[in-house]
């Protein structure tokens, strides 16, 4: 034990780590069952008996999303007591879980308003499940960045977090609307949501890449916006302005890089007409890579 103490790890710290880990595991378990309760099915039955790949992908996205949010809650200095640490971890974790579920609800009702996402996932629609999982993870990445940006555990902190969350959901809806509009123009007015409902996996992978890229670029805002817990309007406007700037910058850069990396490849024909999952995966990788690079440069 002396070795650990000399290197900064004390018995108290180990107990705090155990508290955080225990709460995290309980919340991750809760998220798994919430997936089934939300769509009124037995999660074990869907995963192990029906072998519902779509439900598994959706559940994986939800669990990964909560895990990402919990890293934002865990990162930071230990609390002054075990009880305060447990309360803080639980509060952030439950609030993050609530925001993830709220984000998915808003995404279903606003961004994917033309289809019944839950019904399609229960029926095994992998394309819709991929978009659902990506939306949950994108929301989680944003929530984590806001948790890292905010300070202390007060009502003002939660208001600031919720404000940034609201802006992020608006950006995800705008992104989806823009992508849907471009898809319709290239496909004689066809609906992108209908294509996803019909099992267009390549389209789902590409759109997932855009959503995740937007989330990573959103993270850069925390390096430029100064946290002021009582400046509600300033926080809201700051996140909105920076999010719009990053979304526009990201869109331009992704378009340029795709033309270079995927030169001499007709992306419209390969992804939207031929359902080429391989090309869509490369597009997804490019989108996320550009977002990560842009966010790193901004840090």
Bigger pLDDT: 252 vs 156? 252
Q: Name which of 142-146, 170-174, 221-225, 272-276 the model is least confident about.
A: 221-225
pLDDT at res. 77: 58
Rounded average pLDDT over 223-246: 77
pLDDT for 4 beyond 60? no
Cβ proximity of 69 and 43 under 8 Å: no
* Single pTM value for the model: 0.87
Is the four-CA dihedral 130, 136, 140, 141 of positive or negative sign?
Answer: positive
Report the share of the chain in percent with pLDDT over 70.
Answer: 90
Cβ proximity of 242 and 225 under 8 Å: yes
End-to-end CA distance of the chain: 38
Per-residue tokens: 130: 């991929």
Report the share of the chain in percent with pLDDT over 90.
Answer: 36
pLDDT for 235 beyond 80? no
pLDDT at res. 9: 65
Q: Name which of 2-11, 74-83, 191-200, 206-215 the model is least confident about.
A: 2-11
- Residue 146: C-alpha distances to residues 64, 69, 87 (Å): 17, 10, 19
Torsion of CA 20, 102, 240, 127, to 10 degrees: 100
pLDDT at res. 75: 59
Per-residue tokens: 258: 């795709």
Helix axes 277-298, 232-261, angle to 10 degrees: 130
User: 5 falls in which pLDDT band (50, 70, 90)?
Assistant: very low
pLDDT for 226 beyond 90? no
pLDDT at res. 3: 39
pLDDT for 151 beyond 70? no
**DSSP secondary structure string, the chain?**
-HHHHHTT--HHHHHHHHHHHHHHHHHHHHHHHHHHHHHTS-HHIIIIIS--HHHHHHHHHHHHHHHHHHHHHHSSPPPSSHHHHHHHHHHHHHHHHHHHHHHHHHIIIIITTTS-HHHHHHTT-HHHHHHHHHHHHHHHHHHHHHHHHS-SSSHHHHHHHHHHHHHHHHHHHHHHHHHHHHHHHHTTT--HHHHHHTT-HHHHHHHHHHHHHHHHHHGGGGGTSPP-TT-HHHHHHHHHHHHHHHHHHHHHHHHHHHHHHTTT--HIIIIIIT--HHHHHHHHHHHHHHHHHHHHHH-
Bigger pLDDT: 158 vs 29? 29
Rounded average pLDDT over 119-133: 94
User: 1 falls in which pLDDT band (50, 70, 90)?
Assistant: very low
Cβ proximity of 13 and 78 under 8 Å: yes
Q: Each residue of 70-84: pLDDT tens digit?
A: 887 665 555 567 787
- Residue 176: C-alpha distances to residues 101, 136, 181, 208 (Å): 19, 14, 8, 10
């Amino acid at each position: 034990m002396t070795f650990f103490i000399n290197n900064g790890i004390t018995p108290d710290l180990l107990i705090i780590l155990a508290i955080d880990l225990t709460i995290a595991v309980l919340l991750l378990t809760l998220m798994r069952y919430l997936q089934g309760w939300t769509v009124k099915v037995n999660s074990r039955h869907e995963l192990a008996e029906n072998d519902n790949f779509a439900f598994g992908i959706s559940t994986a996205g939800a669990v990964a999303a909560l895990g990402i949010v919990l890293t934002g809650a865990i990162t930071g200095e230990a609390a002054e007591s075990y009880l305060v640490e447990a309360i803080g971890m639980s509060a952030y974790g439950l609030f993050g879980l609530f925001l993830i579920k709220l984000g998915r609800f808003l995404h279903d009702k606003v961004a994917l308003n033309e289809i019944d996402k839950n019904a399609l996932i229960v029926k095994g629609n992998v394309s819709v499940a991929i978009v659902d999982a990506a939306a949950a993870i994108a929301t989680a990445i944003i929530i984590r960045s806001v948790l890292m940006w905010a300070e202390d555990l007060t009502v003002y902190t939660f208001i600031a977090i919720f404000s940034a969350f609201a802006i992020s959901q608006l950006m995800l809806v705008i992104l989806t609307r823009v992508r849907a509009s471009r898809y319709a123009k290239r496909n004689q007015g066809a609906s992108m949501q209908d294509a996803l409902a019909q099992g267009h996996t390549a389209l789902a992978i590409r759109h997932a890449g855009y959503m995740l890229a937007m989330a990573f670029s959103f993270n850069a805002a925390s390096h430029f916006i100064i946290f002021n817990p009582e400046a509600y309007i300033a926080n809201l406007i700051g996140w909105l302005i920076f999010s719009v700037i990053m979304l526009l910058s990201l869109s331009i850069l992704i378009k340029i890089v795709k033309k270079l990396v995927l030169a001499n490849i007709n992306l419209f024909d390969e992804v939207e007409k031929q359902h080429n999952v391989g090309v869509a995966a490369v597009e997804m990788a490019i989108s996320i890579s550009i977002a990560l690079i842009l966010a790193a440069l901004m840090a």
